[in-house]
């Protein structure tokens, strides 16, 4: 469906701006009026990572007058494979400051506002209220639901994107004109069921594919051209080079934007998404060892069976000596239980301790009551025991 422009046009474009945006100005559907609307627009990007990088760069190049950046993290070397707004010299810097410098280099006419803080229930409404449109580049479910709920409660449209390995999705959620994110995903998946990009990886260029769709939708909404992805989910398969669309209808029973909403204000999103399940927390309580304790057990010849529950690709990058690779999913499906020894103490580990805690709960329920896991996972091991090894 076509929608009216989201913002009013600015009073004028300078001579320099006319030269800069000339290729936009000669497009009949954009023209002077559309470019003035972009100049007058205020867009907030949540995250300056994989999706935020191309989004910020192309929004800046397009002439969006004010860009806000919500980002609290620092640049890590592992980011550079996909987060193209940052460079080698930015490693260790604030992502927000690095992104701002890149944006200003692309277009000095853009006003950049930094929000160097973690988005949460205490600040999200105040931050969102300053902008016309939100571009969601987050990579975790708790923040996605937070962004959605705040946008609905404030009446703001937002452009959503998601990436994983070779697959991407994008849509526009605007409860006044169509569904919200909760209409598509009423509940978050169980903890550990959907791997993050840090666990499963992502093809770097996929970020550009989905990020460019997000910017295209943002421009259409701001200028009031074309038909935005409201009520439609765009799905991209990079391996098959195939795009397809799925219609998403507004759910009359949606807890947030339905006819009788039960969510009328922001909630505890960490609890809602169950970052670590209650079962995993209970299993880990009193059954967590440190990397140093694991090393002592290995050095003293303790009879243990050390299991790495990560994915094969992660194991190839870095692993703890003596560990046997059995991915988490094999435990969830029950296939790994028959491989468990009865005469050895089982010790689990993953990257940081979240997945191993989930597997620990599975083992405890299967009768392996003395199984433990390594808090901090392989990252903790590298930091404390083998700092010369790479981390990812």
Domains of the chain: 15-273 (3.40.50.720), 278-385 (3.40.250.10)
Q: What is the pLDDT of residue 352?
A: 86
189-247 residue pLDDT tens: 765 556 666 667 899 999 999 999 999 999 999 999 999 999 999 999 999 999 999 99
Give the span between the Cα atoms of 287 and 167, in whole angstroms: 37
DSSP state of 133: E
Q: How many other CB atoms sit within 10 Å of the CB of residue 131?
A: 20
Contacts of 92 (CB under 8 A, 6+ apart): 74, 75
- Give me the pLDDT at residue 150, please: 98
Select which of 183, 207, 257, 350 is catalytic.
350
Ranges under pLDDT 50 in the chain: none
The angle, 0 to 180 degrees and rounded to 10, between the axes of the packed helices 204-223 and 31-40 is 110
Q: In terms of Cα–Cα distance, which of 151, 121, 149 is closest to 135?
A: 151
Q: Name the residue with tokens 């969102």.
A: 128
* Cβ-Cβ contacts under 8 Å for 28 (sequence gap 6 or more): none
Three-state secondary-structure class, residue 288: strand
Angle at 224 between CA 220 and CA 225, to 5 degrees: 60
Task: Examine the residue annotation and report whether 197 is marked as an active-site residue of this protein.
Answer: yes
DSSP 134-189: EEE---SHHHHHHHHHHHHHHT--EEEEEEEBTEEEEEEE-TTTS--HHHH-SSPP
- Of 197, 254, 257, 273, the active-site residue reads 197
**pTM (2 d.p.):** 0.79
Query: Could you tell me what percentage of the chain is helix, strand and coil, using 3-state DSSP and rounding each to the nearest 5?
Result: 40, 15, 45
Q: Report CA-CA distances (Å) from 263 to 12, 106, 172, 385.
A: 42, 41, 21, 47
- Residues in the chain, total: 392
| Measured CA distances, 173 to 151, 170, 228 (Å) | 9, 10, 10
């Amino acid at each position: 469906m076509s929608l009216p422009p989201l913002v009013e046009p600015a009073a004028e474009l300078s001579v320099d701006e006319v030269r800069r945006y000339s290729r936009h100005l000669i497009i009949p559907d954009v023209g002077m009026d559309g470019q003035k609307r972009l100049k007058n627009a205020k867009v907030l990007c949540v995250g300056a990572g994989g999706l935020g990088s191309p989004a910020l760069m192309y929004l800046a190049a397009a002439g969006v007058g004010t860009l806000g950046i919500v980002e609290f993290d620092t640049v890590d070397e592992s980011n550079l494979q996909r987060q193209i707004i940052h460079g080698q010299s930015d490693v260790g810097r604030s992502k927000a400051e690095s992104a701002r410098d890149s944006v200003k280099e692309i277009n000095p006419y853009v006003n950049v506002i930094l929000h160097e803080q973690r988005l949460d229930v205490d600040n999200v409404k105040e931050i969102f209220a300053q902008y016309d449109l939100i571009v969601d580049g987050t990579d975790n479910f708790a923040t996605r639901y937070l962004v959605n709920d705040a946008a609905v409660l404030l009446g703001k449209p937002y452009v959503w994107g998601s990436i994983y390995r070779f697959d991407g999705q994008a849509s526009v959620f605007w409860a006044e004109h169509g569904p919200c994110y909760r209409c598509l995903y009423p509940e978050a998946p169980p903890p550990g069921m959907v791997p993050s990009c840090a666990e499963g990886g992502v093809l770097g260029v996929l970020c550009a594919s989905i990020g460019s769709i997000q910017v295209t939708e943002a421009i259409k909404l701001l200028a009031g051209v074309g038909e935005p992805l409201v009520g439609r989910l765009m799905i991209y398969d990079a391996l098959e080079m195939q795009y397809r669309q799925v219609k998403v209808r507004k759910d009359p029973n949606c807890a947030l934007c339905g006819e009788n909403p039960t969510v009328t204000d922001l909630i505890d999103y960490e609890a809602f998404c169950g970052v670590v399940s209650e079962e995993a927390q209970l299993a880990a309580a009193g059954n967590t060892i440190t990397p140093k304790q694991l090393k002592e057990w290995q050095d003293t010849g303790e009879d243990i069976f050390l299991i790495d529950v990560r994915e094969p690709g992660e194991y190839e990058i870095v692993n703890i000596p003596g560990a046997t690779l059995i991915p988490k999913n094999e435990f969830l499906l029950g296939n790994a239980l028959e491989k468990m020894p009865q005469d050895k103490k089982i010790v689990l580990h993953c990257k940081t301790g979240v997945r191993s805690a989930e597997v620990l709960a599975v083992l405890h329920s299967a009768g392996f009551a003395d199984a433990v896991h390594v808090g901090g996972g392989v990252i903790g091991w590298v930091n404390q025991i083998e700092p010369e090894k790479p981390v990812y």
